[in-house]
Amino acid sequence: MNDFSQAIFDLDNINLVLDSLHIGIIAHTPERIITIFNKEAEKITGYSREEVIGKDCHIVFKAPFCGDKCSFCNSTPVTRVDTWEYPLNIITKNGVTRQIEMAVSPINNYTNEFKGVVASFRDMTETFDLSLKAESISSFAGIIGKDKAMQDIFRQIKDVAMYNYPVHVSGDTGTGKERVAYAIHDISSYGSGMFVPVNCGAIPEGIVESELFGHVKGAFSGAVRERKGRFELAHKGTLFLDEVAELPLKTQVKMLRFLQEGTFEKVGGEKKVSVDVRIISATNKNLKEEIAAGRFREDLYYRLNVIPILIPSLKDHKSDIPLLTNHFLKEAEQEILNTVPDIASITIDMMLDYHWPGNVRELKNVIQFAIVRAHGKTILPEHLPLEIIKNKDVSMGIKKRKSVLEIKPFTGKLDTESVKAALIKTGGNKSKAAGVLCVGRATLYRFLASNEEIKNYADQI
């Protein structure tokens, strides 16, 4: 057998080995040319080996296969010396979204020269769907939450992402409307395109139409060249219209026409422009009240509000506060590249008693404030902002807990039977149950979060 025949034989053997694996394998050169694509990769992505081998991965998949995690978008790839693991949503050849777990490793030759990357990935879609049904996941597409209210939001995001119907996201300031909009974009068939956010309330009324739809040269004084608007920039992607209630009525008419016909005209132009854009809108105002006041068109409301998603305020899913707090602490540790302090249970208890008018955004600000105040030590109540420390509900909660602790000090660990008994006695009220058990609410919430059986039991009472 000559060298060429031996090479072909070896390659066939390698392919046989890779095809026997139950994980997808893809490898490409520093120039993004795909060299390996096994059967499981075919099964997960819907693309055949013949369609991808020898081709640029960006061209084959119509976008970076690994989305915004791609290190090969620029002429000089960002190489890593270790294996990089992360979750990822991909769009299959048939336009279906799949949730996968990806691990990317560098390929180096015997002289340690970089020759490309190999990625292994597993299809976690069914596992994720089961986790959603069981309400056992704590984060989804960058959104944190284990409370039932947030699990419902996760399900809605996954359901609406499969369709190109307009979505309207509503909720109080600071609840994370843009994050929900991005999550819908990220796992949809439009995820390979741009996510273009527009704060409609931040654009001066005189130029809002030009900002959205663009203008032709000479359309007005200062229009020295033709300019694309946000709609064109979002072609094959998602346009997020935040604070949509602030749009002028004249612009609302043009927006309505686009939603009806799929085309628009640039300011000063006569030619119709057609774009393929997913529209997601959001506001913290009640649009029906805006309609009654004559500030928002009713017909536009029904075009935008095809699929409504209402994000709960933080006060309606307070059980997520310990989870969110840990997330923000870890996030801060990565940002400042330093060890961040722990947080005391009594501090969490005080935060649970607060009403959080600024929602998750306020919680993040409070954690950042407390990190600075704590100087690397454990975050105690005195490190919190004054509006929390002086809050009447917080003070009442502390006094109540102190009186309970004086009557019946808690010395042991929580167990399933005692927690069940407390929940029955209080009719499922977790706050009162914590008082009966003589523990802080944060302690009880942590116990419930770690014990799926008792958590389900508590939700059914």
List, for residues 425-450, the tens digit of each pLDDT value. 777 788 778 777 767 777 788 788 77
C-alpha dihedral (97, 144, 280, 228), degrees to nearest 10? -90
The helix (run of H) or strand (run of E) holding residue 239 is strand 238-242
Q: Give the E-state strand segments of 76-166 in sequence order.
A: 84-91, 97-108, 114-123, 139-140, 143-144
Query: How high is the pLDDT of residue 209?
Result: 92
Q: Say yes or no to pLDDT of 85 above 60.
A: yes
Q: pLDDT band for position 79 (50/70/90)? A: low
Positive or negative torsion for Cα 131, 135, 138, 144: positive
Report which listed range, 81-90, 102-111, 256-265, is most confident.
256-265
Adjacent-strand bridge partners of 197: 240
Q: For residues 437 and 421, what is the distance between their CA atoms, to the nearest angstrom? A: 10
| Count of all residues that appear for the chain in the document | 461
β-strand pairing of 307-310 with 167-170: parallel
Q: pLDDT band for position 134 (50/70/90)? A: low
Rg of the chain, C-alpha, whole Å: 27
Q: Say yes or no to pLDDT of 98 above 90.
A: no
Query: How high is the pLDDT of residue 7?
Result: 46
Q: pLDDT band for position 411 (50/70/90)? A: very low
CATH architecture of 315-460: Orthogonal Bundle (1.10)
Mean pLDDT of the chain: 84
Least confident of 89-103, 151-165, 280-294, 308-322: 89-103
Task: Strand 114-123: give its sheet, edge to edge.
Answer: 34-37, 24-28, 114-123, 97-108, 84-91
Dump pLDDT digits (tens) for 343-395.
988 899 889 989 999 999 999 999 999 999 998 888 999 999 998 988 756 55
- Written as one letter, the residue type at 419 is V
Q: Say yes or no to pLDDT of 300 above 80.
A: yes
One CATH from 3.40.50.1820, 3.30.450.20, 3.40.920.10, 3.30.310.50 for 3-123: 3.30.450.20
**Nearest in space to 61 (alpha carbons), one of 39, 41, 38, 83:** 41
Burial label for 235, CB within 10 Å (0-12, 13-18, 19+), is middle
Asked if 230 and 193 count as a contact pair (C-beta separation under 8 A), the reply is no
- 3-class DSSP state of 429: coil
Q: Say yes or no to pLDDT of 67 above 70.
A: no
- Tell me, which fold does domain 128-310 have in CATH? Rossmann fold (3.40.50)
- Written as one letter, the residue type at 367 is I
β-strand pairing of 24-28 with 114-123: antiparallel
Dump pLDDT digits (tens) for 202-257.
999 889 999 999 998 887 878 878 899 999 999 989 999 999 999 999 999 999 99
Query: How high is the pLDDT of residue 409?
Result: 35
- 3-class DSSP state of 333: helix
Domain ranges in the chain are: 3-123, 128-310, 315-460
Q: Say yes or no to pLDDT of 410 above 50.
A: no
Query: How high is the pLDDT of residue 379?
Result: 92
The number of C-alpha atoms within 13 Å of 400 and in the hemisphere containing its C-beta is 19
